[in-house]
Structure formats: structure tokens, C-alpha cells
């Protein structure tokens, strides 16, 4: 691309994006392509000579888009959202243009200082303690790995980095916590066999009494409790672990307390959900994803830590070529996580927060929560649907219970087929989980541009789809 054509071609790309958003609702939410269908349409070898942007954009529409599952579609209610916003898209365009690699302050002072400031904005707006410091990471999985590695270093007096990891460290979480904890414990060298999953109570919260009993037992057996991961909003049921009790235990036994609020953390922008982090001042680290429910396109994870010195000590490596005169006066984020190279992610957060304003963010979140209340009420009133847990935030877990059907295995099969029917329709995309052995459908209303009509449409699609599942309609 010649530089002189940039404006012309950028306009074409912007027009393409504009058209994409305009036609989004007419596209199937979940891609319908068969495995390898896209791969086979892409030539086996790259082109020798330059191709025209018009041709590339045409192939984008014809070859690539059919293989996209549209995460920004207002009928996308699967998993947890990875919502975006026009403001975030524009900022990302600029980020790519600037192309700064923000490993240290010197490589872009504005990137480092904007990051410092927007993390303070978020920290204060979310009611996190003033002595926490924040850093942007790529995903909650990476941030949790960072937390567990830091806990490991603190517990081994910073010897594990030097000598290797002792095999008697223990990490604790509930049976409901996200798979990223297990992954991190494996990668950290602590070993998955040393991850202890503590049972939950009837509200799916980690049982603090069982945690304490287990820590005591482990200590008696010569094991070394190192880290507890508490969840604020688990993936299956959005359960909120009891932070005050967990913090007291962690303090008593000298254990690092990491809080995974990857998805539900955004709700802390609302004063009415501040109760979820009562006791957070006694935690050591906290993570949430603006890329899930805060209108900031993937990827953008906010990680906060109480004692930044131990974080840096755990991660610092300082080769000659990275030494700078500003060291000690500024934040060099290379030492605050795993990768050296870092994207300028603060820019999109800055754009989103400034464009929405805190009031605008709160308004959107409350809108989603209100829509979920409506959806859940309709599900609860319907004779053939059942709320499996009480709705919370913008999340609803429910199942279809065809009349006269009481066999649990058949109910599970009915719901699996119902989900398949819905998702194949392309009109709506939900995902599933199992709660107490029950196959349930997960509905999350977190799309940036979702409106009430989409939620009503979802109810209608669900009702219609039940008529198409033969298993639920025995003669």
C-alpha cells in the first residue's frame, strides 16, 4: 500500500466496518460453516505480487465473514460477552497506527503514564483500595498466572525463580472457579496435583470452613499453603465467594489472596454491587476484564496488586539494553507481567471511559441488568422453563422442562437438543453448563447495543425451538 493512498483505503475499510455493523443483525450469530470450509478456500500459497484492497475486502466479505461467529451481534448471549463499542474500535485503529511497543516508559512515556492514570480511574471507580496499583494485561488467564507466580515467589522467599519450584506448595480455589486457575497452577510448576478444589455451599460459594480445615491439615502434613483464588462471579453460576472470611483465613496463615472478578468485576462500577468486594483491602491481587462487559474490545485485562514491589521483584530481569535513566522515577511495565513487549491498550480504555463517561457506563450496565430481570421473569413464569439458580447481574441459567418429563437424563438430552436447534438457527446464540448435574442454558445480556426487542426475540425463538425438539414431544 502506498502511503499516499492511505486515506482513500482507510475510508474503504471504515465503510466496510460501517456496513458490517449495519448488516450484523441479518447475519447468523453463530457461524454455520463446516470444519475446514474456510481453510480450503484460502490458496495454499501466498500471492507473489501485490493484490488490490478491493479484492481483499471482497474476499473478506465472501470467504471470511461466513466463518465468523458474530460476538457483537445483539443476539449473541453465549459464554461471557467480549463486547466492543464504536469508541473502542476507533481507538484500536489509532493504536495500530501509532504501533508503539510499550515495554518500558522510555519506549512511549504517554502510554505508560496513561496506563497508570486509567488504572487509577478504574481502581477508584470500582471501590478498590487506594494502595492497589494497576497494570493492563492481555487476559485474566495471564493475570491469574502472574498472581500465582508472585505468590509462589513470596512463599519461597524468591527462591523458586532461582532454584526451581518445591513440590509442596498448595493453591486453593472452589470447585466452581475458572479453568484458568488450574492452567496457571500447572504452568507455575506448583503442579496441578497441588491445586485443592474446595467444595461450595448451596449458593455455589467457596466454603470458608472447609478451606480452613484443609489448610490446617496440609500444614500438619508438611505442605505449604501459598495462594487462595477467590471468585467474584464464577463462570457457571456467577457466585460470589465470601471475601471477608477468606481474607481472614489468608491473613492468619500467611497465604496470598487473589480475586478473580474477570467478568462480574465491571458491576463494581455500580455502588449497589460494592458488597461483592467487602474485605478487598485484605486481598493481595484482583483481576477483571474490561474486554468482557466494559465495552472495550478484546483484549484488555485490568490487574491490580497491593504490593507492587513484590510483583516487580518476582518478574524483574534487567539486561543492559533495557537500562534507562528514568528507571525508578516511572513505571516500566515490562516488569509487571510475563511478556516484555506490550500493546498500547490504555488508549482504548481512555477512549471508552471518556466517551461514555462514568454515568454512561453505569447506565448501560443497569440497562443490561434490567433486561435480564425481564428475561428471567418471563422464563420463571413460563410453564415449561425453569430458572436453575436465581438470576444475577445480567446472567440467567435456566432449562427447559417439557410437561410430564421428570427423568433427569432425558431432561439433559432435551436441553442439549434445544441448544443445538437454537444455535443452528443462526438467530440466537447461547451456551451451556452443568449445575448439580443439570444441563442448563446460559443467557448473558451484555452486548453493547442490545435492546429489549432482542431479548423478547430470544424468548420467542426459545419457545418456537422447543416445538422442534422431538425428544421433548413424545406421543
Binding site for ligand PLP (CB under 6 A): 80, 139-141, 178, 180, 231, 233-235, 260, 262-263, 289, 301
Indicate the SS3 state at residue 305.
strand
Residue 179 C-beta: closest distance to ligand PLP, Å: 8
The answer for residues whose C-beta is within 8 angstroms of residue 367's C-beta and 6 or more apart is: none
Residue 338 C-beta: closest distance to ligand PLP, Å: 13
Q: Which is nearer to ligand PLP, 143 or 388 (CB)?
A: 143
Residue 150 C-beta: closest distance to ligand PLP, Å: 17
Residue 367 C-beta: closest distance to ligand PLP, Å: 22
Q: Which is nearer to ligand PLP, 233 or 402 (CB)?
A: 233
CA dist., res. 454 & res. 449, Å (int): 10
User: Edge-to-edge strands of the sheet including 438-444?
Assistant: 385-387, 395-400, 438-444, 431-435
Answer for the pair 212, 172: CB distance below 8 angstroms, yes or no.
Answer: no
Residue 327's beta-bridge partner residues? 330
Residue 468 C-beta: closest distance to ligand PLP, Å: 30
Q: Which is nearer to ligand PLP, 33 or 187 (CB)?
A: 187
Answer for the pair 362, 353: CB distance below 8 angstroms, yes or no.
Answer: no
Phi, psi of 434 (to 5 degrees): -115, 135
Residue 184 C-beta: closest distance to ligand PLP, Å: 10
Q: Which is nearer to ligand PLP, 233 or 242 (CB)?
A: 233
Query: Do the bridges between strand 195-198 and strand 169-174 make them parallel or antiparallel, or are there none, so unpaired?
Result: parallel
Q: Which is nearer to ligand PLP, 69 or 421 (CB)?
A: 69
Q: Which is nearer to ligand PLP, 141 or 417 (CB)?
A: 141
Virtual torsion, Cα 145, 146, 147, 148, nearest 10 deg: 50
CA dist., res. 230 & res. 261, Å (int): 8
Degrees, nearest 5: CA angle 321-325-326: 110
Amino acid at each position: 500500500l502506498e502511503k499516499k493512498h492511505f486515506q482513500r483505503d482507510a475510508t474503504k475499510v471504515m465503510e466496510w466496518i460501517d456496513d458490517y455493523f449495519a448488516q450484523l443483525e441479518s447475519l447468523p450469530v453463530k457461524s454455520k460453516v463446516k470444519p475446514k470450509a474456510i481453510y480450503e478456500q484460502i490458496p495454499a500459497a501466498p500471492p507473489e505480487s501485490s493484490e488490490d484492497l478491493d479484492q481483499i475486502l471482497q474476499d473478506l466479505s465472501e470467504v471470511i465473514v461466513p466463518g465468523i461467529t458474530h460476538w457483537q451481534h445483539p443476539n449473541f448471549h453465549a459464554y461471557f460477552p467480549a463486547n466492543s463499542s464504536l469508541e473502542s474500535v476507533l481507538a484500536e485503529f489509532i493504536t495500530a497506527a501509532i504501533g508503539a511497543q510499550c515495554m518500558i516508559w522510555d519506549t512511549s512515556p504517554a502510554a505508560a503514564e496513561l496506563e497508570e492514570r486509567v488504572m487509577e480511574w478504574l481502581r477508584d471507580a470500582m471501590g478498590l483500595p487506594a494502595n492497589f496499583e494497576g497494570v493492563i494485561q492481555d487476559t485474566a488467564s495471564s493475570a491469574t498466572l502472574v498472581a500465582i507466580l508472585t505468590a509462589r515467589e513470596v512463599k519461597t522467599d524468591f527462591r523458586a525463580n532461582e532454584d526451581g519450584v518445591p513440590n509442596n506448595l498448595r493453591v486453593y480455589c472452589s470447585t466452581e472457579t475458572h479453568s484458568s486457575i488450574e492452567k496457571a497452577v500447572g504452568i507455575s510448576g506448583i503442579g496441578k496435583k497441588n491445586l485443592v478444589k474446595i467444595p461450595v455451599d448451596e449458593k455455589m460459594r467457596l466454603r470458608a470452613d472447609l478451606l480452613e480445615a484443609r489448610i490446617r491439615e496440609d500444614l500438619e502434613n508438611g505442605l505449604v499453603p501459598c495462594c487462595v483464588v477467590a471468585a467474584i462471579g464464577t463462570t457457571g453460576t456467577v457466585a460470589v465467594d465470601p471475601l471477608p472470611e477468606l481474607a481472614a483465613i489468608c491473613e492468619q496463615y500467611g497465604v496470598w489472596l487473589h480475586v478473580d472478578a474477570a467478568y462480574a468485576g465491571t458491576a463494581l462500577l455500580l455502588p449497589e454491587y460494592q458488597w461483592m468486594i467487602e474485605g478487598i483491602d485484605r486481598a493481595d491481587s484482583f483481576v477483571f476484564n474490561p474486554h468482557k462487559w466494559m465495552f472495550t474490545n478484546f483484549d484488555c485485562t485490568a490487574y491490580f496488586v497491593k504490593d507492587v514491589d513484590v510483583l516487580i521483584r518476582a518478574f524483574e530481569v534487567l539486561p543492559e539494553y533495557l537500562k534507562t535513566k528514568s528507571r525508578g522515577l516511572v513505571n516500566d511495565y515490562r516488569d509487571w507481567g510475563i511478556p516484555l513487549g506490550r500493546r498500547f491498550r490504555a488508549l482504548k480504555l481512555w477512549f471508552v471511559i471518556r466517551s461514555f463517561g462514568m454515568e454512561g457506563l453505569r447506565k448501560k450496565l443497569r440497562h443490561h441488568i434490567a433486561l435480564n430481570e425481564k428475561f428471567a421473569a418471563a422464563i420463571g413464569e413460563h410453564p415449561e422453563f425453569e430458572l436453575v439458580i436465581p438470576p444475577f447481574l445480567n446472567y440467567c441459567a435456566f432449562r427447559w422442562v417439557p410437561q410430564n418429563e421428570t427423568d433427569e437424563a432425558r431432561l439433559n438430552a432435551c436441553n442439549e437438543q434445544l441448544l443445538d436447534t437454537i444455535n443452528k438457527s443462526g438467530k440466537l446464540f447461547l451456551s451451556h453448563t452443568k449445575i448439580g448435574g443439570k444441563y442448563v442454558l446460559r443467557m448473558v445480556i451484555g452486548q453493547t447495543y442490545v435492546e429489549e426487542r432482542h431479548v423478547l426475540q430470544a424468548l420467542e425463538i426459545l419457545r418456537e425451538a422447543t416445538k422442534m425438539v422431538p425428544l421433548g414431544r413424545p406421543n
